[in-house]
């Protein structure tokens, strides 16, 4: 059912108050759907299937809220070609009620983000970003309250620290506030001053991210939050497998907080049922797959049709071939991409080989199939607007960067001839062409500008000197290389990890 909003003003902020009758609230939650408008390469997900599922849930229940926990964009050609227009249009079509930002929402900068958000029907929340000095000012509220038959539910939005995660220059004017202080003070205000019965934190900080504040920390250090709807870490938190990631966590008062997250790419949605009388919460994950196809209204396709031609044309523009399937979480794909970065680094270096190429594992978003590879597949695989750069860096800083990579992600991509053995959370052995890294020597390495600017927390790279930069976006360089240098040859396949745990 459509939720009719009645605007009210209060001393601390403007908020939304919605009145319903009934004993239960059903929250349908998505996170990290990453522009997966169509089903993925395994046939799962798809936004029109999600619409069928939502309509079914809304027909069966009086009180339904649809919430997104960030990163609805970036990951398919729809975002590369149309800058978020399709994703936000479809969020309006599905009638989202509440949404928060993920880190990838900033990928085109705050000005473009603000442009997309101005047409959204959802209430956008952020409790720990101060946006007054940014282009996003006026588009967000720190919290919202909804009333269901006399029971009030308050919602807050908790966002991650942009520094080290979002490219510099893309979050200008956004001030990051301490997430725990912001969450606890606002939850206290909601319970004591606003008289809400339940507080829901919608977050994009990850369940338990390495070295950063996450949902598990929020749950453990809060007293007034009853439910956390999370995103960012792409975790599948399921009551069916509580031994993997516990969805019931104790808080600072000894009560239980329910923590939810539905993986990524819209393959699952979370259905959370809150009993408004006794506070009990039932939670399950629902697959989004082909069983829902029969319920798709043919007219719905017309919403996507103007955009689909551009996407489909790139997906059949064949430019290469593989001998094996190369999943995005497999060393073979990371090795191929990192070796290509080194190839371009060598060219930028006047044909003289650089010492090493370094590429972050998180930069590879999708897999390559066995057989023909299209231009669109390459863009989907590494969709970000990154540029290749050559750096001069001393060995001590390089080792520090590799240790950060080991601690936070279990390793990143190294070019052929390099090896790093991880013990615990540090690199015990790092060699380039068989020789250990000399802390006092200057090395010429190749990476992407996102990492060179300290992205993915590789701050030691910011101390290096930039000596060359490519003119084209990385994926365009790769497409051109496959069309020319690799014409008639298969994409190299090396399945052996080069940065690995002993």
- Full set of structural domains in the chain with CATH: 6-309 (3.60.21.10), 316-501 (3.90.780.10)
Q: Helices 85-94 and 301-315: crossing angle, nearest 10°? A: 150
Instruction: List, for residues 291-315, the tens digit of each pLDDT value.
Output: 999 999 999 999 999 999 999 999 9
User: For 278-286, what is the mean pLDDT?
Assistant: 96
Instruction: List, for residues 401-460, the tens digit of each pLDDT value.
Output: 999 999 999 999 999 999 999 999 899 999 999 999 999 999 999 999 999 999 999 999
Angle at 79 between CA 77 and CA 84, to 5 degrees: 155
Instruction: List, for residues 119-140, the tens digit of each pLDDT value.
Output: 999 999 999 999 999 999 999 9
The total of other beta-carbon atoms located within 10 Å of residue 384's CB is 21
Asked if residue 15 has pLDDT above 80, the reply is no
Asked if residue 42 has pLDDT above 70, the reply is yes
- What single DSSP character describes residue 488? T
- Percentage above 70 pLDDT, the chain: 96
User: For 171-189, what is the mean pLDDT?
Assistant: 98
Output the pLDDT for position 435: 97
User: For 203-213, what is the mean pLDDT?
Assistant: 94
Output the pLDDT for position 30: 98
Output the pLDDT for position 7: 27
Please choose, from the candidates 135, 205, 134, the residue with its C-alpha nearest in 3D space to the C-alpha of residue 165: 205
Instruction: List, for residues 218-271, the tens digit of each pLDDT value.
Output: 999 999 999 999 999 999 999 998 888 999 999 999 999 999 999 999 999 999
Instruction: List, for residues 91-120, the tens digit of each pLDDT value.
Output: 999 999 999 999 999 999 999 999 999 999
DSSP E strands: which ranges in 323-451?
Answer: 356-359, 371-374, 388-394, 413-414, 418-423, 426-432, 435-436, 442-448
**How do the residues of the chain divide into helix, strand and coil, expressed in percent and rounded to 5?**
30, 25, 45
The residue written with tokens 């989907």 in the block is 380
Say what the pTM is.
0.91
Output the pLDDT for position 210: 85
Please choose, from the candidates 159, 97, 90, the residue with its C-alpha nearest in 3D space to the C-alpha of residue 124: 97
The total of other beta-carbon atoms located within 10 Å of residue 96's CB is 23
8 A C-beta contact, residue 412 and residue 450 = no
Average pLDDT of the chain is 94
């Amino acid at each position: 059912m459509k939720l009719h909003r009645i605007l009210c003003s209060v001393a601390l902020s403007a908020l939304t108050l919605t009145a319903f009758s009934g004993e239960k609230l059903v929250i349908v939650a998505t996170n990290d759907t990453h522009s997966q408008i169509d089903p993925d390469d395994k046939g799962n997900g798809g936004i029109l299937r999600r619409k069928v599922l939502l309509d079914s849930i809304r027909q069966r229940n009086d009180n339904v809220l649809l919430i997104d926990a960030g990163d609805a964009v970036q990951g398919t050609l729809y975002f590369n070609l149309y800058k978020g227009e399709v994703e936000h249009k479809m969020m309006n079509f599905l009638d989202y009620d509440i949404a928060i930002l993920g880190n990838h929402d900033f990928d085109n900068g705050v000005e473009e983000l603000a442009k997309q958000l101005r047409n959204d029907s959802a209430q956008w929340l952020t409790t720990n970003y101060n946006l007054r000095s940014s282009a996003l000012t006026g588009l967000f509220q720190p919290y919202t309250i909804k009333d269901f038959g006399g029971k009030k539910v308050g919602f807050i939005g908790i966002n991650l620290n942009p520094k080290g995660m979002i490219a510099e220059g893309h979050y200008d004017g956004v001030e990051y506030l301490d997430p725990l202080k912001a969450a606890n003070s606002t939850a206290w205000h909601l319970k004591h001053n606003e008289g809400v019965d339940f507080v829901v934190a919608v977050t994009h900080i990850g369940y338990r991210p390495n070295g950063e504040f996450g949902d598990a920390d929020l749950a453990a250090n809060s007293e007034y939050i009853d439910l956390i709807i999370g995103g960012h870490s792409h975790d599948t938190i399921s009551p069916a497998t509580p031994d993997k990631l516990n969805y019931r966590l104790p808080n600072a008062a000894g009560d239980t907080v329910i923590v939810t997250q539905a993986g990524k790419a819209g393959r699952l949605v979370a259905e959370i049922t809150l009993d408004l009388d006794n506070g009990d919460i039932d939670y399950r994950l629902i697959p989004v797959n082909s069983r829902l196809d029969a319920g798709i209204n043919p007219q719905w396709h017309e919403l996507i049709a103007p955009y689909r031609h551009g996407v489909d044309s790139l997906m059949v523009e064949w430019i290469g071939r593989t001998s094996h399937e190369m999943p995005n979480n497999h060393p073979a794909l990371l090795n191929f991409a990192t070796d290509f970065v080194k190839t371009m680094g060598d060219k930028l270096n006047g044909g003289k080989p650089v010492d090493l190429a370094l590429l972050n594992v998180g930069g590879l978003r999708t897999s390559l199939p066995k057989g023909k590879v299209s231009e669109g597949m390459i863009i989907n695989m590494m969709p970000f607007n990154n540029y290749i750069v050559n750096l001069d860096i001393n060995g001590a800083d390089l080792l520090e960067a590799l240790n950060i990579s080991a601690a936070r992600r279990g390793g990143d991509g190294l070019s052929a001839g390099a090896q790093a053995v991880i013990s615990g959370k540090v690199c015990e052995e790092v060699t380039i062409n068989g020789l250990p890294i000399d802390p006092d020597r200057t090395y010429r390495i190749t990476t992407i500008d996102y990492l060179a600017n300290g992205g993915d927390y590789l701050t030691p790279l910011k101390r290096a000197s930039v000596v060359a930069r490519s003119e084209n976006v990385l994926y365009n360089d790769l497409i051109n290389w496959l069309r020319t240098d690799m014409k008639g040859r298969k994409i190299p396949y090396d399945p052996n990890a080069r940065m690995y745990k002993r």
